[in-house]
Amino acid sequence: MKKMLVTGGAGFIGSNFVHYTLKNHPDYQVTVIDKLTYAGNPANLSAVLDKIEFVTGDICDAELIDRLVADTDIVVHFAAESHNDNSLKDPYPFVETNIIGTFRILEAVRNHGKRLHHISTDEVFGDLELDDPNRFKETTPYNPSSPYSATKAGSDHLVRAWIRSFGVQATISNCSNNYGPFQHVEKFIPRQITEILEDRQPKLYGTGENVRDWIHVDDHNSAVHLIIEKGKIGDTYIIGADNDHTNNKMVIEMILELMGKPRDWYEHVNDRPGHDLRYAMDSSKLHSELGWEPQFTDNNGMERGLQETIDWYKANPDWWKPQKAETEAKYKAAGH
């Protein structure tokens, strides 16, 4: 069997990737490393702990990372600090994990000649005006807006430098906003769902006209596997589902309708500093070169993906309720 090391595998996207891999690619023997910060939850992997090796550890620990990478074939690097609001309050953990942690992984894969796939975000590109017809492409210049996106941009540049300077066998993907099971309630979609489940009006930053390209986490992870199998070493791939929706009309109101509430049953709160206006992804390279097709695309697919996500949060209150009160207290203190 091929050996795969998944960093950040107890987080939202990483844990879904582990589940997706075990289900759809059983030829991989999976090891997960996760620091288990507030965003890493071992309960995300409880159903598969007997099928994987789990290591509690920090990707900044050079000795640990070197040992784990030496005993694997491929590293899939999800581990990151990823919350914009938190990065505005305290940027240092983002510099440490996203920059130093990625450096440690790059040095390990370089020293042991291993394959790397680096997971990044659309936020490295900054934002587009609401009426701008352009979309982010692999060649779009970087223009990050927050400490989070700046450190992710820095990690991408490190990977490209190690590819060019040292011949590291790596690929990069920049993905749009993910949603699905196991996502922390601080994030936009699960926050709205859990507010409604607790019979409180969901809260919307500013006017809610910000546009995001929402992708179901399983679509993201299917694309990552395709890049691992068929992607060109050294290349970057945009992952998007062509689900460009405003946060109000086509996300929060869709959630409210699916949950049996009036479409206008939400509260506007102060916008966050530096809130990007619009993200839009051009994943034509992934379609044309690798033949990828998302399953949860267009309005019908988005509704189906949201309904499945709502059903998951309804069925798993024991998973999200312990996070909820503390998360809302933080938002209240910030005026959100």
Whether residue 4 contacts residue 29, with contact meaning beta carbons closer than 8 Å, is answered with yes
Of the pLDDT bands very low, low, confident and very high (cuts 50, 70, 90), residue 313 is very high
The residue ranges of every structural domain in the chain are: 2-179+214-239
The whole-number pLDDT of residue 203 equals 85
| Pair of tokens at residue 17 | 């990737």
For 315-332, how does the pLDDT look when each residue is reduced to its tens digit (9 = 90+)?
999 999 999 989 888 888
Establish whether 148 is a catalytic residue. yes
Q: What are phi and psi of 7, to 5 degrees?
A: -85, 145
Spatial separation of the C-alpha atoms in residues 272 and 146, rounded to whole Å: 11
Residue 178: CA count within 13 A, CB half-sphere? 28
The whole-number pLDDT of residue 263 equals 92
For 18-45, how does the pLDDT look when each residue is reduced to its tens digit (9 = 90+)?
999 999 999 999 999 999 998 899 999 9
Residue 244 has pLDDT above 80, yes or no: no
Whether residue 192 contacts residue 202, with contact meaning beta carbons closer than 8 Å, is answered with yes
For 193-211, how does the pLDDT look when each residue is reduced to its tens digit (9 = 90+)?
999 999 999 988 766 677 7
Catalytic hit among 58, 122, 156, 282: 122
Catalytic hit among 123, 219, 242, 276: 123
The whole-number pLDDT of residue 336 equals 72
Residue 226 has pLDDT above 90, yes or no: yes
Establish whether 96 is a catalytic residue. no
Q: What are phi and psi of 138, to 5 degrees?
A: -60, -25
Measured between its terminal Cα atoms, the distance across the chain in Å is 48
Q: Using H for helix, E for strand and C for coil, what is the string for 270-285?
A: CCCCCCCCECCECCHH
Residue 65 has pLDDT above 80, yes or no: yes
Spatial separation of the C-alpha atoms in residues 135 and 153, rounded to whole Å: 18
More confident residue, 245 or 235: 235
Q: Is the pTM of this model over 0.85?
A: yes
Residue 248 has pLDDT above 80, yes or no: no
Establish whether 123 is a catalytic residue. yes
259 secondary structure, DSSP code = T
Catalytic hit among 20, 34, 81, 148: 148
Mean pLDDT for the stretch of residues 138-159? 95
More confident residue, 248 or 292: 292
Spatial separation of the C-alpha atoms in residues 18 and 167, rounded to whole Å: 28
| CATH 3.90.1580.10 for the 2-179+214-239 domain, yes or no | no
Q: State the chain's mean pLDDT as an integer.
A: 92
Spatial separation of the C-alpha atoms in residues 181 and 157, rounded to whole Å: 30
